[in-house]
Amino acid sequence: MSQKRKNQRAARAAKQEKQAQTVVKWIFGTFVLVALLALLYVAFM
């Protein structure tokens, strides 16, 4: 396998990993937001 092809594969893997991290951040952020809203809702009931 040529070096160029190896580099392309490594770059693609890094890109996918970055996308996965972004998705995790979004899920975590949404979860925190929902938790805060729930706390506010309970506090003002």
The domain of 45 spans 1-45
Quick one: tokens of 3?
């070096």
Structural domain count, the chain: 1
Quick check: pTM over 0.95? no
Whole-number pLDDT of residue 23: 96
- 14-44: per-residue pLDDT in tens? 999 999 999 999 999 999 999 999 999 999 9
Q: How many residues does the chain have?
A: 45
The DSSP line for the chain is --HHHHHHHHHHHHHHHHHHHHHHHHHHHHHHHHHHHHHHHHHT-
Band (pLDDT 50/70/90 cuts) for residue 1 is: low
Distances (CA, A) of 24 to 17, 21, 43: 11, 5, 28
